[in-house]
Amino acid sequence: MDNNHKLHVLDDKPKENCGVIGIYSLSGTNVIPMAIDALRALQHRGQEAWGIAIPNKPPLKRLGLVSAASSEFKAIAEEYSSPCVIGHVRYSTMGRSSLENAQPLKVKDLCVAHNGTIANVQELSNLVGGCSFTPQNASDTLVAAQRLVSLISEKGQMGKALSVLKNEMVGSYCFTFISDDNSVYAARDPKGFRPMVLGHKESDDTYIVASESSAVSAVGAQMQRNVTPGELIRLSKDGIETEMFSDDPQRAHCSFEFTYFAHPTSNMEGTNIYVARKNIGRFLAKKFPIKDADLVIPVPDSARPAALGYAQELGVSFDEGLLKDRYSKKGPLRSFIEPHQTDRVEINRWIIPIREIIDGKHVVVIDDSLVRGTSSKAIIKALRRAGARKISMVITYPPIKFPCYAGIDFPSQEELATFSNGKDMSQEETIDMVRKSIGADFLGYNDAENLAAAVGIPVDSMCFTCASGNYESLGITPEFKSREEIKGET
């Protein structure tokens, strides 16, 4: 193992912004331990903060990982003992990283947890008085919650309030709510940008709604189905009730969930994520059949299934040419959701190339995305130092050229590797510019049609806005801003 060449590289991955849960036990079981387990199973979706909320109590919120509070779990389970709860793990795309902005948030008698991004938050804030939103000390979730509570007081029912709010809000949202009358609600936006599933645990008659089925499995429940886009679910002493607050038939499932964000054990829109990623690799091998390759290696860890599928389809050896040091302080963490730059550097420097595997070989490196290009460049340098004869890089996702306003944090165009600084470039010219920038001998990107076919979802039912620049599914013409403007850190 070539220990002298650990990678010192800034994080180059896009960021998800949260996971949510809602749990209700019809048998009256204390579901707080279950909530903690479910949030730990969603930890890959956000590592900045986490929290839970029960009726008639201020939400409990903590910064950092759920497991960091393990010494408190017993006391939390006793103090917050309840048959119903909502919970949240957070990565911030809007508002600073602070305990104040951690979720769930409470507005009057309603607590809310949110996965997604509301793109027109300033406009929405004008509907609730215009003074409640400042990027430094509030979030899009708070503004949406304030508007929803206002609409509930007008309309009398959650479903009617959401049917109005959906026309006022631009963006993506999966919400869980808990009210002081002991009801848990879950709502998924009409386009289905972000995922949400419903599960049931028979032994104690407990329903769970969660961002991913991995959280349902983690608590011993069975996934029943996906929450339908535009659906509102209510869990209460009366059991489960459901209504549609939108009948929009058009879908825009986030394509990045399938290639990168979602846990490989999860099932999403009828597809297992691991199987989908392996299939993406197979389809990529048909698109880029690199005949003289000696070896296929993944960038750890999420590109592994795609690399395996690629190697199997091509009939080329698959091996681990890059390994994470799992025993270093930060080795096991997913760097893309670490909030501070020093932490991201700390994680990524512990990816180590294995000279004995790489030396003298034409290596095909499979990665799930190429955003800024910094980590790709460092990986290619390290592989060359470890003796690679030739390096081809194949990316499971199309070239990212535009910001996302539906819950993924790469808001600034000038940060992207594909940024052409005003030059009018063809797709081929853009790819060649990126290839030269990262130092690869060959660079191949997936395309939207190929990715959708591999996943088994119609391409027009998936969101590829960050690759196409077509924001019709969101209904906006965005004004592109810098990262500092978006995050309120100027």
Contact of 394 with 465, CB cutoff 8 Å? no
Q: Which of 18, 84, 111, 174 is catalytic?
A: 18
Contact of 337 with 347, CB cutoff 8 Å? no
Burial of 239 (0-12, 13-18, 19+ CB in 10 A): exposed
- What is the DSSP code string of 59-119? PEEEES-GGGGGGGHHHHHHHT--SEEEEEEE--SSS-SSTTT-S-EEETTEEEEEEEEET
Token pair of 266, please? 């999860």
User: Phi and psi of 380, rounded to 5°?
Assistant: -65, -40
User: Phi and psi of 443, rounded to 5°?
Assistant: -135, 125
Packed helices 448-455 and 273-287: angle between N→C axes, nearest 10 degrees: 140
CA dihedral of residues 209, 214, 215, 219 (deg, nearest 10): 110
Active site residue 18: yes
CA-to-CA distance for 447 and 450, rounded, in angstroms?
A: 5
Residue 68's Cβ-side half-sphere holds a number of Cα atoms within 13 Å equal to: 11
CA dihedral of residues 396, 194, 418, 48 (deg, nearest 10): -100
Q: Is 254 annotated as a binding residue?
A: yes
Listed residue (227, 100, 123, 108) closest to 176, CA to CA: 227
3 state DSSP class of 455: helix
Strand bridging mode 222-226 / 362-367 = unpaired
Q: Is 466 annotated as a binding residue?
A: yes
Listed residue (463, 403, 397) closest to 434, CA to CA: 397
- What is the DSSP code string of 217-257? HHTT-EEEEEPPTTEEEEEETTEEEEEES-------EEHHI
Q: Is 368 annotated as a binding residue?
A: yes
Q: Is 404 annotated as a binding residue?
A: yes
Q: How crowded is residue 439: how many other Cβ atoms within 10 Å of its Cβ?
A: 18
Q: Is 111 annotated as a binding residue?
A: no
Q: How far apart are the first and last CA of the chain?
A: 43
Contact of 18 with 46, CB cutoff 8 Å? yes
Active site residues: 18
Annotated binding site: 254, 302, 367-368, 404, 463, 466
Binding residues for Mg(2+): 302, 367-368
Task: Please give the annotated binding residues for [4Fe-4S] cluster, written as ranges.
Answer: 254, 404, 463, 466
